[in-house]
Structure 1
């Protein structure tokens, strides 16, 4: 997925494979399951619930520091997903960062981790794949006259993308009239 030469996002190798199928069959999905850069990038930098505090049940330690029982821990997922020591240029939309073999995918925590991770992660990933796959098969996405919004979102307990306009231009696939 890259910004196309005539404007709009263009899939890298997707329309030729997906264009001739009304749905995305599982055998065609396999090559896309290898990290397609847009899907992890859609979750990078903006965890939906950045402040979901767990509480320790017994004395423990975190990073070598003692933590007493009953301590409320507030993980800052937003800071973790924006850490410039892990993510080069975290404020820039760079889906290709997930294509390299050394991509920091273990540092991507859009669904949390461990016992408090999101139970709907599998469903969310499957729906995101189908939703994005079908949209990108059928349309070229072109920003409205005001351009694309920044990647900051609106701060708070739940991060939201600021409103913006996006035009969905139907694709002309090879062999279609």
Structure 2
């Protein structure tokens, strides 16, 4: 099912909401204006709550900020002034490089490095904490499980998180 969106501007919408506030029924306003009925209801509630009608961009937020987009525009203009005009594919490559710098692929930390960061005091404090909990909870020896490390692979090939 395709949802058809009406074409109306902010002035038309404000005029339609004003007519509805003056006492004209919402359905009659929707029939005579380009704004749909559900939009009139939503914007009238928004006008009552916030005191103004805000116009938001549909869809997800842009990946690049306005400052980054301005940098790309300045780069294109600078290249053109220097006599090296850039085509659409070059601009897309530039934006993709910026995106990759912002959202770099995270790599996993090697287990050996994490184990090297442990010190003897940390191991002792962990042992004392576990011993304290065993005594407090009055755990018996039949609750000891086999904790071998045969399933661990310290030299894993995957580096992506």
Please give the TM-score of this superposition, normalised by the length of structure 2: 0.23
Q: Which has the higher strand share?
A: 1
TM-score (ref. length: structure 1): 0.21
**Structure with the higher helix share, 1 or 2:** 2
Structure number with larger C-alpha Rg:
2
- Greater relative CO, 1 or 2 (CA 8 Å, sep 6+): 1
